[in-house]
Amino acid sequence: MPSVRSVVVRMFPVALISALTMSQGLAQDATGALRLRFTTFSVPGSLVLGVESINSAGTIVGYYSDSAGNSIGFQLPSGGAISTLVDPLDTATPGFTEANGINNAGTIVGQFYDAAATTYSGFFLTNGAYTTYDVPNEPQFTTTALLGLNNRNGFCGFVFPPPYTAADAFVSSNRGAMSIFAVNGSTTNECTAMNDSGSSVGIYEDSTGLIHGWMRDAAGAITVIDVPGASTTPAAVPCLGGSLAGTVPNGINNRGEITGHFWDTSNNEHGFIRSPNGTFTQVDVPGAYQTAGGGVNENNAMVGHYTDTSCVSYGYTVKF
């Protein structure tokens, strides 16, 4: 099951990325509530770029795909040089490693294809060492994806066991308790991010194929999140292909600000920031064709990716 947060099939060994090019812009949302200051970057040679998470130091993680079909994780420190991330057990061709989350200590979580085990597993990357993670007590060949983590040993993602008919979200709390759950009876569920209080966000897909966001507090209570004006009927969307509609939260910080993206009724993609009081701000990179939203840190910085009219992808950071 490919992750809905990136909405592309990512079966993509390592190609060296050349230097990033940077540009800056300034924009304001339609209501004037937030001033949004954008920094954009490109990765030469990448076909698809997913920019997934940012920590308090400004280090960004994500993945890109190349022309050979490889999916490669990357890390970009604030003011530094990009480095590629490939799990040592990812030895298949094409390869598949994606970085999905980073905490303030610099630990990175993600997913990779374990060629020897012939399955998809999660990984933790700490001080240069990769540790494979599979949710305990699941059947052999179950897919585990790690998508988010906090600064208190909590993490989350999804499991997809044989016969691969239903994916459930999971949250491992700060104290190590594991909860595996579905939202509203859905067979497609993911947890995408988690903050230090144990609140998490993610997605579920209803019986019509519509994607809904959710927020779950540390006690397990769930609130559904749908951006006002988001599409309610799945349809073909630009650049991604397939039929999509709805709201995808990808980040939550310790103040409770939630970030992600949605598709409008014209099938165009936009980022969003949801304040703790429930107010939404739409995020569109100036001049972009489509804008997707990723994670958010404690310093009012959100990351994501966007495309031009040729469907070439670029990354961005926005300060708000």
CA nearest neighbour of 104 among 148, 55, 147: 55
**Residue 237, domain member (yes or no):** yes
Per-residue pLDDT of the chain (320 residues; tens, 9 = 90+): 544 433 322 222 222 232 333 334 334 444 556 789 999 998 777 899 999 999 999 999 999 999 999 999 999 999 998 999 999 999 999 999 999 999 999 999 999 999 999 999 999 999 999 999 999 999 999 999 999 999 999 999 999 999 999 999 999 997 789 999 999 999 999 999 999 999 999 999 999 999 999 999 999 999 999 999 999 999 999 999 899 999 999 999 999 999 999 999 999 999 999 999 999 999 999 999 999 999 999 999 999 999 999 999 999 999 99
Write the CB contacts of 74 (distance below 8 Å, at least 6 apart in sequence). 17, 43, 61, 62, 63, 64, 82, 83, 84, 85, 99
What's the domain count of the chain?
1
**Residue 61, domain member (yes or no):** no
**Residue 291, domain member (yes or no):** no
**Residue 29, domain member (yes or no):** no
Alpha-carbon gap, residue 71 to 144, rounded angstroms: 17
Calculate Rg over the CA atoms of the chain.
Answer: 18
**Residue 90, domain member (yes or no):** yes
Q: What is the structure's pLDDT at 233? A: 97
**Residue 309, domain member (yes or no):** no
**How many of the other CB atoms lie within 10 Å of CB of 94?**
17
Q: What is the structure's pLDDT at 1? A: 52
The domain of 234 spans 66-285
122 close to 144: Cβ distance less than 8 angstroms: yes
CA nearest neighbour of 306 among 261, 274, 248: 261
313 close to 305: Cβ distance less than 8 angstroms: yes
Query: Could you give the C-alpha distances from 105 to 59, 127, 149, 237, 256, in angstroms and in order?
Result: 11, 9, 11, 37, 20
CATH (domain of 211): 2.120.10
280 close to 228: Cβ distance less than 8 angstroms: yes
- How is residue 165 written in tokens? 């008919």
Q: String of b and e for 260-297 (b: at least 16 CB within 10 Å)?
A: bbbbeeebebbbbbbeeeeebbbbbbeebbbbbbbbbb
The amino acid that residue 65 corresponds to is: S
**Residue 294, domain member (yes or no):** no
**Residue 164, domain member (yes or no):** yes
Q: What is the structure's pLDDT at 224? A: 98
